[in-house]
Amino acid sequence: MKTLRKQLEPLAVLLCTLILFQSCVVYQKTPVTLAQAADANKKAKVEMKSHETYRFKSIALENGQYYGLQKAHNDPVKVPLDADGILKIRLQDKSASTQSTVFLGIVAVGVPVIIYVVSINSIEASGMGWD
């Protein structure tokens, strides 16, 4: 039973790492305007002149007022945005986000496997195997 647990521990760590990296979001380098962000309907990172940073699910325009939409307890929360206080807005780059998630997943799986294979090979090469 203990050997089974020893074998499952690395798998559990690997799965936890993969779950952690599922939330990777990469933002475009080029800033956009409030109107462009509202039209794009994507995740947005808003940097304020006061050096605060907000992340919104999307930005919406209602009755001439822009709102950042955040999700809190299954209900969207509208945060009013003041155009004068915004330094820049960057939208989510979906392709880069997907690529980084896949890359980090491969690294999270590959590195432990490589370490395991190298350690097994070095043990066998040293003659300290389980013969």
Domain count, the chain: 1
- Residue 19 included in any domain: no
- Residue 129 included in any domain: no
- Residue 47 included in any domain: yes
- Residue 9 included in any domain: no
pLDDT for residue 127: 62
- The closest alpha carbon to 56, from 98, 26, 92, belongs to 92
- Residue 123 included in any domain: no
Between the CA of residue 3 and those of 9, 16, 31, 103, what are the distances in Å? Answer: 10, 21, 53, 31
Please list the residues that pair with 78 across neighbouring strands.
69
pLDDT for residue 124: 67
CA separation for the pair 21, 106 (Å, rounded): 11
Instruction: Look up residue 64 and give its DSSP letter.
Output: T
Per-residue pLDDT of the chain (131 residues; tens, 9 = 90+): 567 677 777 777 777 766 766 667 888 899 999 999 999 989 999 999 999 999 999 999 999 899 999 887 778 889 999 889 999 999 988 888 778 777 777 777 777 778 877 777 776 666 655 55
- Residue 69 included in any domain: yes
pLDDT for residue 21: 63
pLDDT for residue 66: 93
CATH of the domain at 87: 2.30.30
- Residue 74 included in any domain: yes
Angle, helices 94-125/2-21, rounded to nearest 10 degrees? 150
pLDDT for residue 80: 92
Residue-number span of the structural domain to which 86 is assigned: 27-114
- Residue 16 included in any domain: no
